[in-house]
Amino acid sequence: MQMSGNTILVTGGGTGIGRGLAEALHQSGNRVLVAGRRREPLQAVAQAHPGVDYLTLDQADAADIQRVAARITEHYPDLNVVVNNAAIQRVEDLTGADTSAAEETVATNLLGPIRLTAALLPVLIRQPHAAILNITSALAFMPSALTPTYCATKAALHSYTQSLRFQLRNTSVQVIELIPPQVQTALQGERGFDPKAMPLDEYIAETITLLRTQPQADEIVVDRAKRFRFAEREGRYDAIYQVFNEAMTARLRRGGD
């Protein structure tokens, strides 16, 4: 991926990792468009960084994706990078009958990026250099039983990303997977600011450095994510899984959530 001179869409760009990436990419000499459900955080990013544009987008709504894709196609015909970052995470009790949280999570985290990618791919393929960056999670490779559907959607997005990369191998579109560890953001509510999680600015800095130094990489895995990402490959999955999930459950109980 070239790191400057792009026109970039970042979903979920009003807060957290999305905002961090949007700001860093803007500062690197790119035209950046941020999208998300809530107008106020998007406006804050645009006001803080003149030149950044924004659009509201409900990624769980197929019709809204088509609306935004049509507008982007018309007003940003040189779009050549899409960062599929928007996601939600819910704690779920799988012994209950309510599946609304799971359905919302699948619509947002999995169907959303699939639909948006399909809608914008004709624009991307026309560009001489283009890239799709899908943000998955270390939890795609070491699931947390507390957030089962979130982990399942990230594992599915990992699989989808591999297939997309193969199908686009003879085009100008590079497909890159970013695999964050737990990062200090509001994704998990107050739990998201756990001091043991990776500070957001450190995650963004390491990720941008890896993108610069590994322009042909299929995956961008910061050091903190490697333990989970490669656990199964290294034969350590079973040893880590039980301990990790017991610790997560105990932490949730202590937090009273």
3-state secondary structure of 183: strand
222 Cβ contact partners less than 8 Å away, ≥ 6 residues apart: 179, 180, 181, 198, 203, 206, 207, 210
Tokens of 42: 């998007």
Report the alpha-carbon distance of residue 223 to residue 4 in Å, rounded.
25
- Residue 8, phi then psi, degrees to nearest 5: -125, 135
Please provide the size of the chain in residues.
257
237 counts as catalytic: no
Q: Which residue has the tokens 């947390």?
A: 144
Task: Judge whether 106 and 120 are in contact, CB under 8 Å.
Answer: no
Q: Is 160 exposed, middle or buried (0-12, 13-18, 19+ CB in 10 A)?
A: buried
| Full 3-state SS string of 92-129 | CCCCCCCCHHHHHHHHHHHHHHHHHHHHHHHHHHCCCC
Q: Which of 150, 160, 203, 237 is catalytic?
A: 150
- Residue 58, phi then psi, degrees to nearest 5: -95, 100
Task: Judge whether 36 and 111 are in contact, CB under 8 Å.
Answer: no
What is the set of active-site residues? 150
